[in-house]
Structure 1
Amino acid sequence: MVLTDDDKSHVKHVWSVVLPHAGDIGADALTRMFAAHPTTKTYFPHFDLTPGSADIKAHGKKVAAAIGEAVAHIDNIAGALDKISTLHAQKIRVDPVNFPLLSHCFLVSIAAHHQEVLQASTLLSMDKFLGRVCAVLTSKYR
């Protein structure tokens, strides 16, 4: 998925709006993912998966930070997420199908909390961007 200059501009704009609340949106996305896709909970046996728990909030911040890194390095997402990609593929061994599930939940969380920023064009750009993030995160599985 090639991100156009317009896509990059839209993603950076959306992220500038989301950034002050990025950890909360990350936590909300995880909560939504666990509720909608219960099999994703298997990677978190040591977590308190209750919505709003300290574990969910802490991991939500990590998810948001990774997405923020990808935004900050939008021209080199693979380089920015290399360590995270390797960790998930080789150590944690997360089923790669889970990344698009979280990506979708992240978009839903943005829409739920900042619907004003997700117009048709920005939504498409964010979807392409998160698709690119998912492709990078699954690249180490091959």
Structure 2
Amino acid sequence: MVLPGHVAAQNRRARHEYFIVSEVEAGIMLVGTEVKSLRVGKGNINEAFAGPMQGELFLFNAYIPEYQSKMPFPHETRRPRKLLLHKREMAKLMSAITKDGMTLVPLDIHFGQRGIAKIQLGLAKGKKLHDKREAIKERDWNRDKARLMRDKG
């Protein structure tokens, strides 16, 4: 059971695949069985992305499985889900997507203090292969450096 303030689904590969320029928190329109599945901790946003559709922002390709108990009206697992943002925020993000060639990637889905599902979106620019290798080298060096300092000190 996911409590308010805790992460229900996380996209751990997003920070490896993209440079995150800025982060935005948005509401997400879900049906009841989707909320129940997320509260249990099921859901996958690793291959998901957000984009414009009919003048609104939607979350595409996010997988939220059907709730395990037999509900009379199960939801579609990979349907587009509407994101709830202020008009000014939405306009800013849409212009960044269309003009600057950036991408909106979901970083995590969590429940706010009042128990409402929220999604953390990152405005991102894709990394090249050499950037990924450089980040891995830096991470390994920091790990080795910390290990050396711990062993010495």
TM-score where L is the length of structure 1:
0.26
Choose 1 or 2 for highest CA Rg: 2
TM-score where L is the length of structure 2:
0.25
Structure number with higher strand proportion: 2
